[in-house]
Amino acid sequence: MKTTSIFCLICLFLACSVGKLADTLSPITRIDNQTVYFENGKKAQLPIDKGTTATVVYLVRHAEKVKTKDQDPDLTQEGMERADRLQQILKAANIDQIFSTDYQRTQLTAAPTAQISGKKVVSYNPRDLEGFAEKLKLEKLGQRILVVGHSNTTPVVVNKLLGMEKYPQIDEADYGHLFVVVLKENGTQEAFDLKF
C-alpha cells in the first residue's frame, strides 16, 4: 500500500514537472525540438501532438542597439550579449532557416545563431510583412525557423501567422521578447510570448 502511494506521488510529480506552454514572465534558458526550459527550473512542451509534424517559428526583435542618429546602428555590448544568449537558447532547437531584415542590428542579432547552426541568414523585406508571413506558412512542414525583426514588425509577423491581432507593438525599450509560433499540419496555429 505504501509503495503504491509513493509511486502515485512520483507519477504526479513527473506529470506536473512538464507543463503546458503559455505566455510567461519567467525567462527561458533553452529550447530543444519539443521542450522549453525556464530559469525557474520549470519546463513546458511545445504544443505539437504526438505523431504529427509542425513548423516552429521563433521571432525576436533585434537586441539592444547603439543610440545614435545613424539609421543603421550597431549593437551595444549588452546587445551582443543578448544575441549570444539567443544562440545559447536555440542551439538545441535544430534551426533550419534564419531570416532577418537587412540592417546591422538585426543581422548581428542573428549572427551567433547562424554561426552555431551553420545556416545562412536570408534577408526579408520589412515593408512586405504580409507576403513574408505567407512565405513562412508555405515553408516545408517540420522546419524550425528564426526570424529577427524590429519592435514594430515582429508582432505584426506573429499576428499575420496567427491570422488575428493578438500581440501589440513592442515598447522601444523592451528587447526581451521571444515569440514562438507553432504552425500545425492541421492548419491551426498557436503563439506564445516568452522572455529571454
pLDDT digits (tens, 9 = 90+) for 68-79: 999 999 999 999
H/E stretch holding 121: strand 121-123
- Of 137, 145, 134, the C-alpha closest to 110 is 145
Q: What is the pLDDT of residues 111-139, one digit of tens each?
A: 999 999 999 999 999 999 999 999 999 98
185 versus 16: the higher-pLDDT residue is 185
65 versus 23: the higher-pLDDT residue is 65
| Whether residue 9 has pLDDT greater than 60 | no
- Of 112, 111, 118, the C-alpha closest to 95 is 118
88 versus 17: the higher-pLDDT residue is 88
% residues pLDDT > 90 (the chain)? 83
Check residue 33 and give its pLDDT: 86
- What is the C-alpha to C-alpha distance for residues 79 and 175, in angstroms, rounded to an integer? 9
Q: What is the pLDDT of residues 143-156, one digit of tens each?
A: 999 999 999 999 99
Please report the domains of the chain, with CATH numbers, ordered by start residue. Answer: 53-195 (3.40.50.1240)
How many helices (H) does the chain have, and how many strands (E)?
Answer: 5, 10
Kindly report which listed range (21-25, 35-39, 174-178) carries the lowest average pLDDT score: 21-25
- pLDDT average, residue stretch 70-99: 97
Residue type, 165: E
Check residue 15 and give its pLDDT: 36
18 versus 153: the higher-pLDDT residue is 153
What is the sign of the dihedral through the CA atoms of 160, 166, 169 and 174? negative
Distances (CA, A) of 191 to 22, 55, 72, 88, 137: 8, 12, 30, 21, 14
